[in-house]
Amino acid sequence: MTETTPAEKLSLFKEAYFDNGGKLKDAYIAAGFSPISAASNASKYFAAHREEIISFVNTRIATHVPTAIGTIVKIMNNEGEKGGIRLKAAQDLLDRAGYKPSDRIEIRTEDVDTMTTGDIKDHIRKLLQEVDPSLGKLADLKVIQGGKQS
């Protein structure tokens, strides 16, 4: 029986890590390491090879993208599917294509030079609350005046 090389063990670890949902101990054992030392060494092994393992996982995930997009398109085009589900599929597809709506809201006012930072934050909260009451409860607002955050 031949000894498994370090490169082969790493390959086995990556496969098992991906296939078992990221369970380090199981991947460590599947790579041919001792189950006795798995609890104490699996996370160390992962840390030592983190970049290569993450790169492998990202590549493996990328191979499923065409199928996932195809599934979204099928749901979106299925007239037998409920409207909300079709709408969500369409939104997901647009998001992935780079047409995601902006999460940033910019408010401009002419009176900003005479307002304090507190006044500006209060005004922004009031405007946001008019749009959606939950937005008016934002805890952290950053005010940038003249390119400087205050």
pLDDT by position in tens, the chain (length 150): 578 899 999 999 999 999 999 999 999 999 999 999 999 999 999 999 999 999 999 999 889 888 888 888 888 888 888 888 888 888 888 887 777 776 666 656 666 677 777 777 777 777 777 776 666 666 566 666 555 555
Domain ranges of the chain: 6-62, 65-99, 110-149
pLDDT on residue 92:
84
Residue 95, classified by CB atoms within 10 Å of its CB into exposed (0-12), middle (13-18) or buried (19+), is: exposed
pLDDT on residue 48:
96
Short-list 107, 103, 139, CA closest to 123: 107
pLDDT on residue 12:
95
CB 30 within 8 A of CB 49: no
What CATH number should be reported for the domain whose range is 6-62?
1.10.10.1400
pLDDT on residue 7:
94
CB 120 within 8 A of CB 143: yes
pLDDT on residue 49:
96
